Structure 1
Amino acid sequence: MPLARPSRRSLALAAAAATLGATFYGVGAATADNSVPRSDKEIPNLTDVVNDIKAYYGDTVVGGEHYASADSSYARQLAGIEAKAKKDLAHGLKHARHGKKPAIVLDVDDTSVLTYNYELEVGFNYTPASNQAYLDTKDMPPVFGMDSLTNWAASQGVTVFWITGRPEAQRADTVRNLTAVGYKSAPDTAHLYLKNTANPPAYLACGATCTTIEYKSGTRAHIESLGYDIIGNFGDQYSDLSGGHADKSFKLPNPMYFLP
């Protein structure tokens, strides 16, 4: 998901409630395509959009914590994407590039684990401090079906990698969370890449100044250089998927925010 999730994030406001996430608007800012609304009528009501997001996720509150529902529109949409992905991965396994080891790459937030409860707790206003405080005390649940799909791929001989914009300082939290919620592949230092601005890896020419696309596509290129064929790349943001270095890309739904 995010490239260390910058403090100035955009809440994704759907232009039409029936197609959540189709168009994104920033809170108190210009729209995602940099055009400035000329009237309030061009901006969806924020309260209505948040209610639409809750309905889409099938908001369920237990002990003060918000959970997405397994029979929600969100879960059903995911199931359709994952069913297609499984077929494509099975095909990719049969047609992996000669001499290359098949691999998949996953983003972490809202691709592997769901940030829904955190987003509601902070009113969709991410800050590094609030995010770290949350991870200090809680695990995020798996995105519906992604743990099963990932574990299935691993059982077929696919190597699993994660590339996340979380900072290197959150490595232990990330490893704990992925392991605790059922991801069987080891998110160790060889398979989990986090953003390291203090000591960026030599294979990223952009160093500490990489955009999300540069960081993620450059890391995928590095994985390829290690002898892997990335047969599937999964992310909830288009910036997780852009830049090539994957045979197939799979966009997961996320109407909560937009990250370039």
Structure 2
Amino acid sequence: MPRARLSARTRTLAVTAAAVTLGATFYGVGAATADNSVPRSDKTIPNLTDVVNEIKAYYGDTVDASGEHQASPTSNYAKQVAGIEAQATSYLAKVTKDEHGGHGQHGKPAKKPAIVLDVDDTSLLTYNYELEVGFNYTPATNSAYIANKTMPTVFGMDAVANWSAAHGITVFWITGRPEAQRADTVRNLSAVGYKSVPDTAHLYLKNSTTPPAYLPCGATCTTIEYKSGTRKHIESLGYDIVGNFGDQYSDLSGGYADKSFKLPNPMYYLP
């Protein structure tokens, strides 16, 4: 989910630093409060270098032969993701059992079950890009990176998606990436092991030039309006979104999903 405005993106480490200070992950309302507060002393602001080192340690930073930063599959990040995925797979297994028994979730009429995945830091890991640009996202650097490099899968999320597809659950992606990045997004998802085809019917990207008619907010949609409105559209096609996966609360807010799964991401916050 690319950052809608540079100003929102560049507050990344300030929000993360506050979270580190409190010893907890806090976004949403807490993040907005942190963004709007003005420190009265430098002593209340964690050292920026220390915060970056905390992020590297959490991801188990390693540098490969080409000089690129990779997250470790044995890192605390990977372990936390694995725990969330285990809960999700257990839940989805129950859903498929209920669906095959002819009953929808929570007594609803049976519909085609589906899951929705965000792309960046839900399906694909942006960790190396963030370090490469010093956590200073710009549309230009992000587009160049996506066009020329292949982001690795978020540990285990390809397995969750592939398990779902193999058990009759349709996989959709909704990303804030612009429509111009469709081909590179399809290439990357396919290259790292996602077996479901991210075609135009299953991969939704943000089209600010000609927004779809099912989004009343058009080109002015907030992230929540865009993503929840697209989920509403998917459900109008006869699907029941049984699981919604995202690394930002804005990926998950707004309804039109039976259950949401929040993946960890201490690198940036998107309203």
- Whether these two folds match at TM > 0.5 is yes
Q: Give the secondary structure class of the aligned counterpart of 2:241.
A: strand
Of 111, 114, 118, the match for 2:125: 114
Tell me the equivalent position of 1:34.
36
Tell me the equivalent position of 2:197.
186
Kept after mapping to 2: 8 A contact 1:13/1:23 = no
Q: Tell me, which stretches of 5 or more residues in structure 2 are unaligned? A: 99-103
Equivalent positions of 1:203-242 (< 5 A) are 203-242=214-253
Tell me the equivalent position of 1:27.
none
Equivalent positions of 1:26-105 (< 5 A) are 32-62=34-64, 63-93=66-96, 94=98, 95-96=104-105, 97-105=108-116
Q: Does 1:160 align with 2:171?
A: yes
Tell me the equivalent position of 2:270.
259
Query: Structure 1 pair 16/214, CA: closer, same or farther in 2 (3 Å)?
Result: closer
Q: Give the secondary structure class of the aligned counterpart of 1:118.
A: helix
Kept after mapping to 2: 8 A contact 1:204/1:215 = yes
Tell me the equivalent position of 2:26.
22
Greater share of helix: 2
Of 175, 179, 188, the match for 1:177: 188
Kept after mapping to 1: 8 A contact 2:18/2:34 = no
Tell me the equivalent position of 1:7.
6
Q: Give the secondary structure class of the aligned counterpart of 1:193.
A: strand
Q: Distance in 1 between matches of 2:157 and 2:225?
A: 25
Tell me the equivalent position of 2:101.
none
Q: How many residues align?
A: 254
With the length of structure 2 as denominator, give the TM-score of the two structures. Answer: 0.89
Give the Å deviation of 1:232.
0.2
Give the Å deviation of 1:16.
4.9
Q: Give the secondary structure class of the aligned counterpart of 1:15.
A: helix
Q: Distance in 2 between matches of 1:45 and 1:185?
A: 43
Kept after mapping to 2: 8 A contact 1:203/1:222 = yes
Give the Å deviation of 1:45.
1.4
Q: Over residues 185-227 of structure 1, what are the superposed CA-to-partner deviations in whole Å (9 max), with x where a residue is unaligned?
A: 0000000000000000000000000000000000000000000
- Over the aligned positions, Cα root-mean-square deviation in angstroms equals 1.7
Q: Distance in 1 between matches of 2:245 and 2:264?
A: 11
Q: Give the secondary structure class of the aligned counterpart of 1:13.
A: helix
Q: Distance in 2 between matches of 1:205 and 1:244?
A: 16
Kept after mapping to 1: 8 A contact 2:208/2:218 = yes
Q: Distance in 2 between matches of 1:108 and 1:126?
A: 16
Give the Å deviation of 1:168.
0.3
Q: Distance in 2 between matches of 1:80 and 1:44?
A: 29
Q: Over residues 9-60 of structure 1, what are the superposed CA-to-partner deviations in whole Å (9 max), with x where a residue is unaligned?
A: 1314143538464369xxxxx9645222222222221111000000000000
Kept after mapping to 2: 8 A contact 1:107/1:235 = yes
Kept after mapping to 2: 8 A contact 1:21/1:254 = no
Q: Does 1:132 align with 2:155?
A: no
With the length of structure 1 as denominator, give the TM-score of the two structures. Answer: 0.93
Q: Distance in 2 between matches of 1:222 and 1:104?
A: 14
The 10-residue stretch of structure 1 (9-18 or 193-202) with the greater mean CA deviation from structure 2 = 9-18
Give the Å deviation of 1:87.
1.1
Q: Distance in 2 between matches of 1:23 and 1:90?
A: 30
Q: Tell me, which stretches of 5 or more residues in structure 1 are unaligned? A: 25-29
Give the % identical residues: 74
The 10-residue stretch of structure 1 (178-187 or 85-94) with the greater mean CA deviation from structure 2 = 85-94
Query: Structure 1 pair 202/151, CA: closer, same or farther in 2 (3 Å)?
Result: same
Query: Structure 1 pair 102/172, CA: closer, same or farther in 2 (3 Å)?
Result: same
